[in-house]
Amino acid sequence: MRAGTGFAVAYNPEYLRAATAFDDFLRPPMVTVGLFENDQKTAETLHRLYRPFGAPISFLGVEEAEFQKYVHNLFNATKISFVNEMRGIAHGCGLTRVDELFQITAVTAEGLRNPRYGIDDRGPYGGGCLPKDVSAWLAEMERLGIESPMASAARTVNIRMGGR
C-alpha cells in the first residue's frame, strides 16, 4: 500500500502538558497538522474532525509541523532555564522578593505579555537598551564570578546574526 492510496498519513503534534493533558486535549490553543504532499483530502477530513474543538487549525508540511513542535518545546525549555538562572542569581545576590520580581517582569517585559514580540524576521536585537544591558549584565556577572549562560548565549546568537 502507498500513502494517499487507500489510507492517509499526517503528522499531528500535540500541545499537552503532563498535569493537564486531558483538559489540554479538549481545549487546545491551536491544532497543527503536517501533511504529506499537500494532501487536500486528508486536510478536509482532519478539519472536520478538529473543527468542533473550536481552535484554529494550521496545515503545514510534515517537516514544518515537526520543526514547529521543536520550536514550541525549545522555547518553553529556554524560558524555564532562563527564569531558573535568574532566580538562582537573585538568591545568590541575597534578594528575597524574587517571586515578586518575576510577577512584575511578567507585566513589564514585552516578550512575556505580547505573543507577537520577537517572532517577525527583523534580524538581531538592537536599540539603545538591549545590547547595552546584556553587555552590562554579563560584565557584572563576570566581576562577581557568577556564570550567566543563558544571557551569554543570547548575546552570542545576536552577534552571530550581525548585532552587537
User: Could you give the residue numbers annotated as active site?
Assistant: 129
Which set of grid coordinates corresponds to residue 164?
Answer: 552587537
What DSSP line would sit under 105-149, residue for residue? HHHH-HHHH-TTTT-SS--S--TTTHHHHHHHHHHHHHHHT---H
Q: Residue 101 and residue 97: Cα distance in Å, rounded?
A: 6
Summary count for the chain: helices (H), strands (E):
7, 5
Residue type at 104 in one-letter notation: I
What is the C-alpha to C-alpha distance for residues 73 and 144, in angstroms, rounded to an integer? Answer: 32
Q: Alpha-carbon distance 118 to 154, whole Å?
A: 13
| Kind of pairing between the strands at 31-35 and 10-11 | antiparallel
